[in-house]
Each structure stands twice: as C-alpha cells, then as structure tokens.
Amino acid sequence: MHSWTRYLIFFQYIGAKYSGVAKGNPHQLGKRGVQDHLEDAITRLRPLNPVSLSISSRTDTGVHALSNSAHFDLQRKNDKPPFTEDILVRALNFHLRTEQIRITRAYCVPHDFHARFHAQSRTYVYRIAQGISHKSLLPLTECSLCWNLCNIDIPFWELTFRSRSFLYKQVRRMTGAVVAVGKGQLSVPELKDILEARDSRAFPQGLTAPAQGLFLTRVDYRDTDLQLPQQTSEMQLPTIGNSLKK
C-alpha cells in the first residue's frame, strides 16, 4: 500500500488579478487568491486526503512572483503509486491553464519538511521605471509590472532585498523611503529617526511603494532539508540542490 507523499512545488504568477497569494475571504465576493486556484488544481488530481497547501512566502494583492514555494500532502486512491515530479508539474499546469499561474518545479520531500519554516532566505526585487512622463508610454507588457516615476533622468532601477523573512509591507516601505529621500520628500535624518523607532506606525502615510512593482524572485532551502530518508532513495533526485540554485 502506498502512503501519502509530501511535495514541494515552486510556482510563479502575475499578481494583478488575484487578492494575494493566500486564500481569498469566502465571505467576500471578488478576487480569489493564488492559493485557491492551486488547491483547485490539486483537488482535480483526486487525492484520497483533503487538500491543504502551506505557502512559504506571503504576497499581497497586486504583488507578483517569479518563484514562490509551497508544500502539500497527496495520497492517491486505489493504492496507486505517487506522481513523479515531472508528471505532477504537467498535470497541475494543465488544470491551471486559464490562470496566470504556473508550476515551475516539484520535488518529493521528507514528511516533516515545511515550506515556510525551512526556508533559509527570500529574495524580492522592486522594479522602478524612471523618466517616463506617463505610464501609457511604457511598453504594454510593463505597465502593470513596475512603478513609474516622472521627470527623473535615470531610466530604470531594480532594488534587490534578501532576508530570511520580512515584515508586512517592509520591502514596499523601504523602496518608498528610498524614493522619498531621492525626491526630497524625506530627509536622511528623518529616515534615521524612522529606522530607530522600530515601529511601523512611525512610517509616514502615503510613502509606501505600490504593489505592482514588487516581485518575489526566489525562496532558498538547504539541500539537506530536501533530501528524502535513505529507505525512499528511489524517489530522491541526486541533483536536487544544484537545480534549486539555477
């Protein structure tokens, strides 16, 4: 008899049409979260167990991801063997074909692995288009994927942030503070006071950067945390660590 298998998946999405990565509020009509659509796709695989997805990194409404991650458990009916990683990716993407969400990789991981708590770092990139007088002058593919700032000579910036974890809206607030200092809306001493206060309520209203320029670009794990026990080595990928670092 085949027992349940825990999978780690990496996925990407354009966040504009979703209420964020987490589940939407079932009591409110409107946008659904990326998690809702992922769990729908997993349910279509007809697992024996209830579907529950644990996401590594929370993103808000309008924020995008080039690589987010999550884990879930799956037991197939009628003692069928576990899905291979490649088949799982193809099957989930088939059921997600109408959404702006795609699975990029999948791995069988130990039963005690947790996508959120085992993550060693998360990396975000904030994209800023500069010197464009109006967002309509941006290429169509860029209009909702960056923050447009007018009347500045430098054409384009990408700010990269890497840490084990982040506070709510931390990256957007840091980006907004950098831009505010550059535009003379915030002085360096004022910024120092905000940092030393260590209180999100000290951050000025209206300076948080908009969501559309923010991308979660990668979530990193230790190779040892992804390795299956020796007795299930036939399911283990020998180059899993190298492939995660590509």
What would the pLDDT profile of 7-61 be if each residue is shown by its tens digit? 999 999 999 999 999 998 776 667 899 999 999 999 999 999 999 999 999 999 9
Same domain, 76 and 46: yes
Q: Is residue 26 part of a domain?
A: yes
Q: Is residue 222 part of a domain?
A: no
How many domains does the chain contain in total? 2
Same domain, 112 and 12: yes
To the nearest 10 degrees (0 to 180), the angle between helices 34-43 and 85-95 is: 110
Which of 36, 40, 60, 223 is labelled catalytic?
60
- Domain ranges, residue 183: 125-216
* Residue from 136, 153, 152 nearest 144 by CA: 136
Of 87, 118, 149, the residue that ends a domain is 118
Positive or negative CA dihedral for 100, 105, 108, 114? negative
Q: Is residue 221 part of a domain?
A: no
Q: Is residue 159 part of a domain?
A: yes
Task: Establish whether 112 is a catalytic residue.
Answer: no
- Give the largest CA-CA distance in the chain: 67
Same domain, 112 and 136: no
Per-residue pLDDT tens over the stretch 102-158: 999 999 999 999 999 999 999 999 998 876 666 666 655 566 788 877 655 547 789
